[in-house]
Chain A
Amino acid sequence: EVMMTQSPGTLSVSPGESATLSCRASQSVSRNLAWYQQKPGQAPRLLIYDASTRATGIPARFSGSGSGTYYTLTISSLQSEDSAVYYCQQHNDWPLTFGGGTKVEIK
């Protein structure tokens, strides 16, 4: 099973600043990596798949990068509505696995 480790656990950022979230896999996932945003009481929403492809309707200030075992999600010009928990997920091997999440707080 591919273990996914996200860091930091919590990130506190001021509006307008950028946030970079990290996700590390226990083995290469060959850019088969997705990112999701989950707000309290809501279902997750797909942001990024294949490491860097934005899903339909996702603003350009969300960007993904990485390869092999290390991936990042960058949120530029943070807005209050970006306050949420963000999860990475590998879709390279079975079982699918998620990271533990990074909570982004807006100062």
Chain B
Amino acid sequence: QVHLVESGGGVVQPGRSLRLSCAASGFTFSAYGMHWVRQAPGKGLEWVAVMWYDETVEKYADSVKGRFTISRDNSRNTLYLQMNSLRAEDTGVYYCARRGQTNSWLDYWGQGTLVTVSS
């Protein structure tokens, strides 16, 4: 079955960097686009970024554009999110999620990893 496991979260000071990873199993990772979605404590869901299966397309929310970079290693079945210049408002649980077969619904989600940006 599809399994997504995020890691790399933690407490980081404002202005510093962090890299999240998402290990995928149970499906052909190289055939699916992948998303990052975040959720601030007690708040709703916010889409962050997407990368196509073949890395030809990547898109970002305006709130992270220029600071975050999504990437993937299809040989390792792993998705990444490099987060630079972190701000307090980046605090939250970060989920990776698989893109639907023909459009950008999110059909499987990981359990999330918590990022806390605080001095």
Contacts and interface: CB of A to CB of B under 8 A. Distances in A.
Interface of A: 1, 32, 34, 36, 38, 42-46, 49-50, 55-56, 87, 89, 91, 94-101
Interface footprint category on B: 20 to 34
Given A43-B109, A43-B110, A49 B46 contact: no
Nearest to A48: B105
Instruction: Give the dominant DSSP class at A's interface.
Output: loop
Interface of B: 35, 37, 44-47, 50, 59-62, 95, 100, 103-112
Instruction: Give the dominant DSSP class at B's interface.
Output: strand
A34 B106 contact: yes
B27 to A, nearest CB: 12
Contacts of A42: 111
Contact of A91 (B46, B59, B104, B109): B104
A95 B47 contact: yes
Nearest to B112: A43
